[in-house]
């Protein structure tokens, strides 16, 4: 299993694209880059680029208050968060407690430390990191892998400490991606900003993410993204005729393959779009068809 610098597991996470994104930033001669993920989730690419010194700063955003709360706790309640990780009992009893906290607070609009830890605990102990999923090993813990197999306390604490040291280089938001673009991204220097849009899947998003999209939302997002034509950005999507129709009118349609672990180990062909000013070429694991 590839090692990542993020402490979160994420269905459909794009950590495998890190080398490709780094190469693309270099290809476009962006120095002291400000890297942005409007749908951050586990932020695997962002954290790897920042901690590796490949970008100057990152902008993270997630509309899901639980995910936002995890990142806020890591950056601003670091020691308390680390204490919870160090002392938590990794048991099915604790899993039920944390699941109850999550279910009660998941729709809250403001930061909550309790929600942050509950969501983090479920992310690390559930199958494929799906927060609303079931525990690894099942309720009876009869499977070959148990609840704690993805919860190495020492490793997680080390990752969190490393990220927290860069808190001054991380800007965090809890906004709808469209609002993020309108309120913040248009104010960024277009010669520094690089944006990686990874919206909820068109076909499976409703099964994986709390804040999934419908056709209208996908169309609205595309319209607003296309106002950033003088900025460097890329978009990845599941290969859907509807998404190809929505984005293909104004952008070049490209395809590549990527391996996922969310349910079964499989390779999926995905859609890829980029802004007119962004140069793109195959690199590493990303080979365009």
Quick check: helix, strand or coil at residue 286?
A: strand
Calculate ∠ Cα 140-145-149, nearest 5°: 110
Rounded CA-CA distance 282/20 in Å is 8
Structure confidence at residue 201 (pLDDT): 84
Residue 22 CB coordination number (10 Å): 20
Note the pLDDT tens digit of each residue in 170-225: 999 999 999 999 999 999 999 999 999 999 888 654 544 455 678 899 999 999 99
Same fold: 1-63+175-289 with 64-165:
no
Structure confidence at residue 14 (pLDDT): 83
Give mean pLDDT, residues 16-38: 97
> Token pair for residue 226?
């296309």
| Residues recorded for the chain | 289
Spell out the domain ranges in the chain.
1-63+175-289, 64-165
In CATH terms, the fold of domain 64-165 is Adenine-specific Methyltransferase; domain 2 (1.10.1020)
Let me know if domain 1-63+175-289 sits in CATH 3.40.50.300: no
Structure confidence at residue 215 (pLDDT): 87
Structure confidence at residue 1 (pLDDT): 44
Q: Alpha carbon of 251 to those of 17, 30, 82, 170, 222: distances in Å? A: 21, 22, 44, 30, 10
* φ and ψ of 205, to 5 deg: -55, -40
Q: Does pLDDT of 262 surpass 80?
A: no
Note the pLDDT tens digit of each residue in 78-100: 999 999 999 999 999 999 999 99
Q: What is the mean pLDDT of the chain?
A: 92
Give a three-class secondary structure readout of 27-43.
Answer: HCCCCCCEEEECCCCCC
Q: What is the CA radius of gyration of the chain?
A: 19
Q: Does 258 or 233 have the greater pLDDT score?
A: 233
């Amino acid at each position: 299993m590839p090692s990542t610098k993020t402490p979160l597991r994420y269905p459909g996470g794009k950590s495998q694209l890190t080398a490709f994104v780094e190469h693309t930033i270099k290809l476009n001669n962006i120095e002291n880059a400000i890297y942005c993920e409007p749908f951050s989730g586990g932020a695997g690419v962002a954290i790897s680029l920042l901690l590796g010194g490949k970008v100057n700063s990152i902008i993270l955003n997630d509309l899901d208050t639980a995910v936002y709360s995890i990142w806020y706790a890591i950056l601003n309640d670091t020691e308390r968060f680390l204490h919870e990780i160090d002392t938590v009992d990794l048991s099915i009893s604790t899993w039920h407690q944390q699941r109850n906290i999550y279910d009660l607070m998941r729709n809250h609009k403001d930061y909550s430390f309790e929600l942050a830890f509950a969501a983090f605990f479920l992310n690390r102990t559930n199958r494929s990191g799906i927060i609303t999923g079931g525990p690894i090993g099942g309720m009876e813990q009869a499977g070959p892998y148990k609840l704690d197999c993805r919860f190495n306390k020492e490793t997680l604490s080390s990752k969190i400490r490393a990220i927290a040291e860069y808190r001054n280089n991380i800007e965090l938001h809890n906004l709808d991606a469209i609002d993020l673009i309108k309120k913040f991204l248009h104010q960024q220097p277009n010669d520094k900003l690089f944006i990686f849009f990874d919206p909820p899947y068109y076909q499976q998003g409703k099964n994986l993410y709390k804040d999934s999209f419908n056709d209208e939302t996908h169309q609205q997002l595309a319209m607003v993204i296309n106002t950033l034509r003088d900025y460097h950005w890329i978009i990845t999507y599941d290969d859907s005729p509807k998404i190809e129709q929505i984005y293909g009118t104004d952008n070049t349609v490209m395809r590549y393959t990527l391996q996922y672990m969310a349910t079964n180990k499989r390779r999926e062909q995905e859609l890829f779009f980029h802004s007119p000013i962004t140069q793109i070429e195959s690199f590493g694991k990303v080979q365009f068809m």
